[in-house]
Amino acid sequence: MTELTEFSFGGEIVWTPSPAYVKGSHLQRFMDRHSISNWDELHQRSIEDVAWFTDAMLAYLGIEFFSPFTQILDLSRGSAWPVWCVDGVMNIVHNCLDRWIGTETEHKLALRYESEAGDVETLTYRQLHEEVCQVAAGLRSLGLGKGDAIALYMPMIPEIAVAMLAIAKIGGIILPLFSGYGAGAVTTRLVDAGAKAVFTTDGTFRRGRYVPMKPTIDQALALAPDVAHVVVCEKSGKQTTMVPGRDLWWDDLLAGAGTDTATEPTSAEDVVMVIYTSGTTGRPKGAVHTHCGFPLKAAMDMALGLDLRRDDTLYWMTDMGWMMGPWEVFGTLILGATMVFYDGAPDFPDVDRLWQLVADQQITTLGVSPTLIRALMQHGEEPVRRHDLSSLRIMASTGEPWNPEPWLWLFNTVGGGRCPIINYSGGTEIAGGIVMGNVMKPLKPCAFSGPNVGMAADVVDDSGHSVRGQVGELVVRAPWIGMTRGFWHDPDRYIETYWSRFPDVWVHGDWAAVDADGQWYILGRSDDTIKVAGKRLGPAEVETVLVSDPAVVEAGAIGVPDELKGQALVVFCVLAPGFEATNELAAALREKITGAMGKPLTPKAVYFVPDLPKTRNAKVMRRVLRAAYLGEPTGDLSALVNPEIVDAIRQTSSALP
């Protein structure tokens, strides 16, 4: 990378860990166990000897094998194709549930669920274990078993966790699908994975309105004939069409099933899950994960980053079709903590819904996205003040880069300046984070304390050389246990995507930077880079300037072709209530960017739009913004929660000069 603009870092340190956060933390206990004096020493040792670190963490987490592994890591096929826990036999469900039975943990709450209407359900570890056993027995009675792909197309209700774990328990392959997918997106993934069965529900409620789900599955299966079974969980009470011989109700699947079903022994490297991610072109990429991979990386990150302890309750606003859904289930249960599911909108029936959930469910660890906080902060502090949020110990975020103002609003208004915000960035193929905060290192607004323990992360220039104090490519220089074992039936695409740039180096596709104090920053996807007259900048730099204006709630910045400059800057703004889209406001925002970024980076145009194209996990799809503006094909839109906004953007940008 050349001619990178300097990034304006997040400023001064605003949070320093107190003795209460450090004492008893997973980090401190792990370091004490191995006579390590500080975090920097731990991280260095963890990347110099990844095999030692991984073996030590498996012991720390108490992971049990039916037959022990003979070697923790085999790199004979190269860094892109590591084999972990060689010859080991295990099943991750044994480590999530079976091993807790007969201990004090079996009486703890594993799952708290709340519906949008306020209905509450709870499951202890024993109750969850029994229900998983029943569903596993039911699946086996249908002839399903080891190696069979079974899809999940359900909202965040308790049954989706039960079904997910039951699939893994019988040695099947979990295929989580975003609950907002249309029939076409569902069909594509079912066919590609060769799914044999689907779990779904009759429907759910969003903002008080009924959203049917079973009809979408019926439509999808018209082109996915290999799916032989559909298990339907009745939640809405609405009339549902059932196909004889194919469809059965959840309760019928469980009828007569025992609560002590045996767990299938699997190789540590047997596939446990395929999670699809959307691409700009071609079919979606199916990230392959194993029993000893994704779940253990999730638990490691929760322990050493979030410091999730046995008495903690975690809620992450997510969907099972986004990696954070399975991540929450696997990691929480391995650590013996409690998770919260909420099926509904975070601002319905009132804008304080999320804060009410925190208070009512006594959530200690809250995971949100910057986009959500930007939306909620426009309602002011009063909705937050209605509720006692003293249960909060840790806040966390992922999905998009932060801007300082919403970060500080979350830190001060919601967390009272006492709770750290553990930024977390990685991806589906990572099984968690590359960079992350922790409870031992100080924090600046928008920053990460550093790489995850065990992640040999670096920031490099175009030649692959490490750079500091400027923007570069985020890379990882050594394998880790959670990394995808490739793309489903597409190894060449996997190599081309991550391993083709530098020898034995994973290139993640994010812009990143490290400041003089060792704080890390993620600045957006490198394929979103804007280059104006030879000057490169990340969209986050421009968007931070825009959202600092009280008129702008959200912003998206893109580069478009320009004969003179190569690219020109175009920005899209979502306005706060009470502000009108006027030429005067557009001119003022252009001047604001010019003043902050310099005259060469003055936007070609400022557009006002009702929303930005976003995924369910609140990532702004800038490639879609760019394609809509240029009138080009938008690619795969199945992950968008608001695909209708694409036409609105096209109309807005074509109507104005």
pLDDT digits (tens, 9 = 90+) for 459-513: 999 899 999 988 899 999 999 999 999 999 999 999 999 999 999 999 999 889 9
Tokens 């931070």 appear where? Answer: 544
Q: Which amino acid is at 51?
A: A
Mean pLDDT for the stretch of residues 384-402: 94
Mean pLDDT for the stretch of residues 49-75: 98
pLDDT of 527 higher than 80: no
The region of weakest confidence among 393-397, 597-601, 647-651 is 597-601
What pLDDT is recorded for position 281? 45
Length of the chain: 657
What six digits make up the tokens of 20? 């209460």
Task: Answer whether 498's CB lies under 8 Å from 507's CB.
Answer: yes
Q: What is the 3-state secondary structure (H, E, C) of 184-210?
A: HHHHHHHHHHCCCEEEEECEEEECCEE
pLDDT of 10 higher than 60: no
- Going by DSSP bridges, is the β-strand pair 421-427/394-397 parallel, antiparallel, or unpaired? parallel
**Where does CATH 3.40.50.980 sit in the chain?**
124-264
What pLDDT is recorded for position 13? 94
Q: Which secondary structure element, helix H or strand E, spans residue 329, and what is its range?
A: helix 324-335
Distances (CA, A) of 91 to 126, 328, 330, 431: 18, 18, 12, 17
Q: Which secondary structure element, helix H or strand E, spans residue 623, and what is its range?
A: helix 622-630
pLDDT of 657 higher than 50: no
pLDDT of 191 higher than 70: yes
Q: Could you tell me which residues are beta bridge partners of residue 291?
A: none
Distances (CA, A) of 586 to 60, 218, 630: 56, 47, 20
pLDDT of 2 higher than 50: no
Task: Answer whether 205's CB lies under 8 Å from 169's CB.
Answer: no
Encode pLDDT of 581-626 as tens digits. 999 999 999 999 888 777 778 899 999 999 999 876 667 888 888 8
What pLDDT is recorded for position 623? 82
What pLDDT is recorded for position 402? 87
Centre a 10 Å sphere on the Cβ of residue 141 and count the other Cβ atoms it contains: 12
The end-to-end CA distance of the chain, in Å, is 33
The CATH number assigned to the domain with range 19-91+289-524 reads: 3.40.50.12780
Mean pLDDT for the stretch of residues 417-438: 96
The region of weakest confidence among 86-90, 248-252, 372-376, 562-566 is 562-566
- Going by DSSP bridges, is the β-strand pair 457-460/472-476 parallel, antiparallel, or unpaired? antiparallel
Average pLDDT, rounded, for the chain: 92
Nearest C-alpha neighbor of 173 from the set 296, 277, 264: 264
Task: Spell out the residues 6+ positions from residue 514 whose beta carbon is closer than 8 angstroms to its own.
Answer: 459, 468, 469, 520, 521
Higher pLDDT, 228 or 531: 228
Tokens 């596993």 appear where? Answer: 136
Distances (CA, A) of 531 to 3, 347, 379: 9, 37, 36
| Domain range 529-655, CATH architecture | 2-Layer Sandwich (3.30)
Encode pLDDT of 14-35 as tens digits. 999 999 999 999 999 999 999 9
Mean pLDDT for the stretch of residues 646-650: 85
CA distance 193 to 166: 18
Task: Spell out the residues 6+ positions from residue 383 whose beta carbon is closer than 8 angstroms to its own.
Answer: 350, 351, 352, 355, 376
The fraction of the chain above a pLDDT of 90, given in percent, is 75
Task: Answer whether 414's CB lies under 8 Å from 380's CB.
Answer: no
CA distance 133 to 391: 33
124-264: in CATH 3.40.640.10: no
Encode pLDDT of 135-185 as tens digits. 999 999 999 999 999 999 999 999 999 999 999 999 999 999 989 888 888
What pLDDT is recorded for position 7? 45
What pLDDT is recorded for position 617? 62
What pLDDT is recorded for position 616? 64
Nearest C-alpha neighbor of 570 from the set 580, 556, 584: 556
Q: Structure pTM?
A: 0.87
Confidence band for 652, pLDDT divided at 50, 70 and 90: confident
Nearest C-alpha neighbor of 286 from the set 36, 497, 455: 497
Confidence band for 6, pLDDT divided at 50, 70 and 90: very low
The fraction of the chain above a pLDDT of 70, given in percent, is 94
CA distance 139 to 172: 10
Residue 553 backbone zone (phi > 0: left; psi -120 to 50: alpha; other: beta)? alpha
Tokens 């997510």 appear where? Answer: 318
What pLDDT is recorded for position 34? 98
pLDDT of 323 higher than 50: yes
pLDDT of 385 higher than 80: yes
CA distance 441 to 450: 9
Higher pLDDT, 367 or 235: 367
**Where does CATH 3.40.50.12780 sit in the chain?**
19-91+289-524
DSSP 305: I
| Range 346-350, long-range pairs (CB < 8 A, 24+ positions) | 346/317, 346/372, 346/376, 347/375, 347/376, 348/116, 348/207, 348/208, 349/208, 350/383
Higher pLDDT, 634 or 191: 191
Tokens 């298990």 appear where? Answer: 231
Coil/strand/helix, residue 485: coil
